[in-house]
Structure 1
Amino acid sequence: MRILLLTHAFNSLAQRLWAELQGRGHVLSLEFDIADGVTEEAVAMFRPDVVVAPYLRRAIPASVWRKVPCLVVHPGIVGDRGPSALDWALQEGESTWGVTVLQAEAEMDAGPVWASVEFPLRAAKKSSVYRNEVSTAALQAVLQAIARIEGGADVPRRPLDIAGARGRLRPLMQQADRALDWSRDATETILRRIRAADGFPGVADQLFGEPCHLYDAWPEARLGGTPGALIAKRETALLRATVDGAVWIGHVKRPGSIKLPGTLAFPRQAAGVPEAPLQGWWRVPQATWQDIAYEEQGGVGFLHFEFYNGAMSTTQCTRLRAALQWARARPVRVLVLAGGQDFWSNGIHLNAIEAESLQGGSAADASWRNIEAIDDLALELITTGGQLTVAALAGNAGAGGCFLARAADLVWAREAVVLNPHYRNMGNLYGSEYWTYLLPKRLGAARAQAIMRERQPLTAQAALAAGFVDDCIAGDLPAFAEEVARRAARLAADPALAQRLADKRAARAADEAAKPLAAYREEELAQMRRNFYGFDPSYHVARHHFVHKSPASWTPRHLARHREPERRAA
């Protein structure tokens, strides 16, 4: 079928649908929902059989939905209506939730139901549930809906006509519905409210007596204090006491600024908050905020790094490198870099770089320090000779994060993961992380250049077929972690591992003799220096618009294929 994706932004769900539908042979194009006239033009140019809307913030115009079937992906159960479906479900502690694919009509979320899929609802951040359970259920529901349309099924019933539908109309959740009372609310209440607002819009509150929005909350089991008081900090997170414990606040957005780690958002005020450091890298058994954690099972070491949105600042790269150096000295034969649940890595920390610029520093200098730090981390991984290294991607990866993962000996990706192994969308950024060594070595020069040029998201299956990853593992987050542990233990127990490690060291020595890693890095950084310090400001402009969430004013041509005459009819 010819399918037009109509979306507010090319978010994780839109990317997954784009890649999965193309992989099933459908002809796709995409248009950002900028204005009714733009949408009408896209439909006229592409002539789709169906429009799929995975992420909208306003209604599809009648001039479109009356002309072509428009399937809207709603993150709610059958009968649920309103713009805050997932927020209400998480805040009210629903045990199950779902995704419904409805046909657009005049009344929002009330059109015919083409498909619906339900799932157990984790007590987790909204952004995490959206990227995992919602994304998977949405894919299943969209595929069901398209199959029914392809098969010529009659238009189905509307949600209000479906017996047993338990959803209901609920309004846009306001900040008054999310409000926190630190003097009365228990830790679980505060966690649930901040998690239900994570990603967007956050919970309006105050820190240090100043208004801000809170995100990225984690429980603390060991420390407490006067309810509402800021009692500690750890790295970039701030700890605030509740009536029955405490909650870590990982990220904050101040009025007129951007979302930042807590101590970066309030650098002067946070300086006076006492430190609550952790000793070493071992995972702490009690609930707390720990962005880097190590554990062992038999002959396998697992290095976890839970970085918000997968962004890795200069400091985070330096700390993770230190943790990796420490783990390399442990008596283990296999090292698994487990990353986080939502993201493995997305490369350098654009918000932290922008913050330096906003505070009077140099964004170019901050960018340079960050790329050097992540290169140092990649180098540490490439040159690990005493263990077999595995990058286990439970969550998505993008840009430099993809190539950091490829610096490991093996890359195992969860089936639901989407990878974006390219840099150019960020203002023609050239990229580093030794990609010019790692990618052609795996895929060959021609395919490596094609991946970088085409800038397409890859499903885990497509990445496996291309040779970018070594295996694709089905299952949800717990099942993936269990299977990774099983496979890693099998590798560690393999009698042939010693020879495999010897062969690995010999291959690395041969590669180094042919062309030193320092030469690859020098060539990449020469290009990056132009991106950061050269006359073309494209990277700085793109970064600014990205971190400030500027609305799109046009759709990139590698996605809006209907706007390229040679590809319109393909």
Structure 2
Amino acid sequence: MDILLVASAFNSLSQRVYAELSDLGHRVDVVLATQGTEPVRAAVRELRPDLVVAPMLKSALPEDVWRDHTCLIVHPGPPGDRGPSALDWAITEQAPNWGVTVLQAEAAMDAGDVWASEPFPVPPVGKSDLYRNEASDAAVAAVLLAVRRYADGSYKPRSQADDPTTAPHIVWRGFLRQERRRIDWENDGTEAVLRKLRGADSQPGVLDELLGREVFLHGGHPEDRLRGRPGELLATRHGAVCRATRDGAVWIPELRPRRNSGDPAPFRRPAASVLASFPDAPRLPEDTVPLEPPPDRRTWSDIRYRRRGDAGFLTFSFPGGAMSTEQCRRLLTAYRYALARPTPVLVLGSDRDFFSNGIHLNVIEAAADPAEESWINLNAMDDLVEAVLRTTDRLVVTALPGNAAAGGAMLALAADEVWCRTGTVLNPHYRRMGLYGSEFWTYTLPRRVGDGLAHRLTGEALPLSAASAGRIGLVDRMVPAAPGEFRAQVERLAADLAAAPDLARRIADKDTARRLDEARRPLAEYRRDELDRMHAVFSDPGAPYHALRSAFVRKKPAGSVRPLAAVTGDLG
């Protein structure tokens, strides 16, 4: 079928729905509802789709579109749930299970007939993590079922009001406003604080006051030892700040100043750096935690190492998957630590959610000299990728429980094997940010898929499902696990790999291959050529990268409302 996706952003769910529908042979296009209703109408007139699907839509479809075409809306709530803050309410009200419903568009929000629904569990994670994982799995299952039912032509969608299983549960929940999210530091216990932080971790954040200034708090993790007066700032750790609750403390990774605060960078960035910009900021101690903390510690750290038999696991989890200069350097130090442990297999990745999206655009945008910080951050990322490529005394596996893009995707490809959870979306390209790319992509991508396909992937700049990535050779192993089961599955697979009788031979063959590749063309040449082109972009104030980066971090519309249109232009 010809399917048009209408979305408020080509975000993780929109990309996954596009990729998985395309895998099934449907002809899929996308229009963004970011510039009013006319572009949506124009796309419908031009494409004349058999079906319209809205995976993530913050505004209403034009009435003439949903009256003249079957339009399916993906609502992140179970049948009967209505309103714009569905996942926020699920976390706030501690729902053990939630759901996704695919509804036919009509005049009343979320009131249309039900084409499909799918339940999912609600683990104690942030809203954005939940959205990209359990909710995304359920949403895709429901969309694919609804599309099959529509194509079959015999299915009659259920009216919510007439369905005896749904009608008693119809409830309207409005916006979850800041008054309900606000933290009472004097009286809220740690679990209540964490629940409020998790319910708003990416958007909209929790509005609070620090040192007399209003800021939004983003993300939250428990601390087991530090204590202080409720609301007191206690310490920093790797860019996060620790704040005391009534009965404990929490780590807050990111802060966002209010837009009307006068801050020149009113977007999310590491909490400690936002605090440091306040003239009266206190000097907080840096509280460290070892890479291998004792088992009784319940504290947050964004990088950890653990060993299970002959396999080592270096895990990392950075907000939004972005990796700043400082994070890249710390991860490289941790990687060298892992190489000093006697394990023939090393697994690099996160236990759930993002793998990596490459350099940290928010930190870059907030820098005094964004061009210079872009350059420094990119070189730090290259250092990390090069360390992986030059590892020849063991097999390195990258484990992707969630999405990877740009330099983060190339970091994954530097390993000997790439293991990927089904449902992951890969974006092995840079062009949508106006960049040529680095991280040795001109070496690692062609060695997996060949020169022609490598340049097609980076030129077309389209998202790939995990299944498609596996078919073309970007991914070596699919891991069909639920988000919460990925870690255990990876540990079992790594143990099998470490016990394989041909492991020593594979490591020796890897060393030989690296020597031959180095003789043909040294890694230093790949890096130099890529960085020359990137430096030309960074140092050009008129390069599209700078405007695209600024629009991205400030969440302003940029580029075409038809994101699948060919990406063209010389990137230097």
Aligned to 2:490: 484
Aligned to 1:295: 306
Q: Secondary structure at the match of 2:327?
A: helix
Question: Could you say if the C-alpha distance between residues 560 and 68 of structure 1 is closer, same or farther in structure 2, counting changes exceeding 3 Å?
Answer: farther
The aligned amino acid for 2:39 is: V
Q: Deviations over 1:383-407 (max 9, x none)?
A: 1111110000011100000011111
Aligned to 1:61: 62
1:512 deviates by 0.6
Determine which of 242, 263, 268 is the counterpart of 1:239: 242
Aligned to 1:564: none
Aligned to 2:263: none
Q: Distance in 2 between matches of 1:175 and 1:419?
A: 34
Residue 390, structure 1, aligned to residue 397, structure 2: yes
The aligned amino acid for 1:2 is: D
Q: Distance in 2 between matches of 1:495 and 1:68?
A: 59
Does structure 1 retain, via aligned residues, the 8 Å contact 2:96–2:122? yes
Q: Distance in 2 between matches of 1:327 and 1:215?
A: 30
Q: Deviations over 1:4-35 (max 9, x none)?
A: 00000000000000000010011111100132
Aligned to 1:266: 275
Q: Deviations over 1:406-433 (max 9, x none)?
A: 1111100001100000000002x01110
Q: Distance in 1 between matches of 2:296 and 2:8?
A: 41
Does structure 2 retain, via aligned residues, the 8 Å contact 1:283–1:295? no
Aligned to 2:87: 86
Aligned to 2:253: 250
Aligned to 1:170: 173
Aligned to 1:568: none
Q: Distance in 2 between matches of 1:101 and 1:381?
A: 43
- Structure 2: which 5+ runs fail to align? 260-265, 568-572
Question: Could you say if the C-alpha distance between residues 559 and 297 of structure 1 is closer, same or farther in structure 2, counting changes exceeding 3 Å?
Answer: same
Question: Could you say if the C-alpha distance between residues 550 and 557 of structure 1 is closer, same or farther in structure 2, counting changes exceeding 3 Å?
Answer: closer
Q: Distance in 2 between matches of 1:558 and 1:509?
A: 40
Does structure 2 retain, via aligned residues, the 8 Å contact 1:378–1:433? yes
* Structure 2 counterparts to residues 16-165 of structure 1, below 5 A: 16-33=16-33, 34-165=35-166
1:558 deviates by 2.6
Does structure 2 retain, via aligned residues, the 8 Å contact 1:306–1:339? yes
Aligned to 2:223: 220
Residue 449, structure 1, aligned to residue 455, structure 2: yes
1:556 deviates by 3.9
Q: Distance in 1 between matches of 2:472 and 2:282?
A: 48
Aligned to 2:426: 419
Residue 182, structure 1, aligned to residue 185, structure 2: yes
The aligned amino acid for 2:272 is: T
Does structure 1 retain, via aligned residues, the 8 Å contact 2:469–2:475? yes
Aligned to 1:333: 344
The answer to which of 7-16 and 222-231 deviates more is 222-231
The aligned amino acid for 1:541 is: A
Question: Could you say if the C-alpha distance between residues 450 and 553 of structure 1 is closer, same or farther in structure 2, counting changes exceeding 3 Å?
Answer: closer
1:168 deviates by 1.1
Determine which of 470, 475, 481 is the counterpart of 1:475: 481
Question: Could you say if the C-alpha distance between residues 81 and 275 of structure 1 is closer, same or farther in structure 2, counting changes exceeding 3 Å?
Answer: same
Does structure 2 retain, via aligned residues, the 8 Å contact 1:395–1:417? yes
Residue 514, structure 1, aligned to residue 517, structure 2: no
Q: Deviations over 1:339-384 (max 9, x none)?
A: 252110100000000010xxxx211100000010000000110111
Question: Could you say if the C-alpha distance between residues 473 and 154 of structure 1 is closer, same or farther in structure 2, counting changes exceeding 3 Å?
Answer: closer
Question: Could you say if the C-alpha distance between residues 285 and 518 of structure 1 is closer, same or farther in structure 2, counting changes exceeding 3 Å?
Answer: farther
The answer to which of 42-51 and 269-278 deviates more is 269-278
Q: Distance in 2 between matches of 1:141 and 1:309?
A: 25
Aligned to 1:566: none
Q: Deviations over 1:203-231 (max 9, x none)?
A: 11112221000111001112111111011
Residue 8, structure 1, aligned to residue 8, structure 2: yes
Q: Distance in 1 between matches of 2:423 and 2:294?
A: 26
Q: Distance in 2 between matches of 1:17 and 1:557?
A: 14
Q: Distance in 2 between matches of 1:38 and 1:512?
A: 50
Q: CA RMSD in A?
A: 1.5
Q: Secondary structure at the match of 1:71?
A: strand
Aligned to 1:547: 553
* Structure 2 counterparts to residues 420-439 of structure 1, below 5 A: 420-427=427-434, 429-439=435-445
Question: Could you say if the C-alpha distance between residues 63 and 144 of structure 1 is closer, same or farther in structure 2, counting changes exceeding 3 Å?
Answer: same
Q: Distance in 2 between matches of 1:340 and 1:440?
A: 28
The aligned amino acid for 1:334 is: V
Q: Secondary structure at the match of 1:525?
A: helix
Aligned to 2:387: 380
Q: Secondary structure at the match of 1:226?
A: coil
Q: Distance in 2 between matches of 1:268 and 1:50?
A: 50
- Structure 1: which 5+ runs fail to align? 562-570
What percentage of residue pairs aligned between the two structures are identical?
48
Q: Secondary structure at the match of 2:432?
A: coil
Q: Distance in 2 between matches of 1:169 and 1:289?
A: 36
Determine which of 345, 357, 378 is the counterpart of 2:356: 345
The answer to which of 153-162 and 75-84 deviates more is 153-162
Question: Could you say if the C-alpha distance between residues 195 and 414 of structure 1 is closer, same or farther in structure 2, counting changes exceeding 3 Å?
Answer: same
Q: Distance in 2 between matches of 1:227 and 1:557?
A: 47
Does structure 2 retain, via aligned residues, the 8 Å contact 1:81–1:170? yes
* Superposed structure 1 runs of 4+ greater than 3 Å apart: 268-271, 279-285
The answer to which of 485-494 and 323-332 deviates more is 485-494
Does structure 2 retain, via aligned residues, the 8 Å contact 1:31–1:560? no
1:52 deviates by 0.2
1:554 deviates by 3.2
Q: Distance in 2 between matches of 1:310 and 1:154?
A: 40
Q: Distance in 2 between matches of 1:560 and 1:186?
A: 51
1:239 deviates by 0.5
The answer to which of 155-164 and 182-191 deviates more is 155-164
Question: Could you say if the C-alpha distance between residues 227 and 409 of structure 1 is closer, same or farther in structure 2, counting changes exceeding 3 Å?
Answer: same
The answer to which of 203-212 and 552-561 deviates more is 552-561
Q: Distance in 1 between matches of 2:221 and 2:439?
A: 31
Q: Distance in 2 between matches of 1:71 and 1:285?
A: 48
The aligned amino acid for 2:73 is: V
The answer to which of 527-536 and 514-523 deviates more is 527-536
1:72 deviates by 0.3
Q: Distance in 2 between matches of 1:332 and 1:294?
A: 12
Q: Secondary structure at the match of 2:235?
A: strand
Does structure 2 retain, via aligned residues, the 8 Å contact 1:77–1:167? no
Residue 210, structure 1, aligned to residue 213, structure 2: yes
1:536 deviates by 4.0
1:497 deviates by 1.5
Q: Distance in 2 between matches of 1:438 and 1:465?
A: 17
Q: Secondary structure at the match of 2:103?
A: strand
Does structure 1 retain, via aligned residues, the 8 Å contact 2:243–2:251? yes
Does structure 1 retain, via aligned residues, the 8 Å contact 2:351–2:487? no
Q: Distance in 1 between matches of 2:131 and 2:153?
A: 31
Residue 320, structure 1, aligned to residue 326, structure 2: no
| TM-score scaled by length of structure 1 | 0.95
Q: Distance in 1 between matches of 2:139 and 2:208?
A: 33
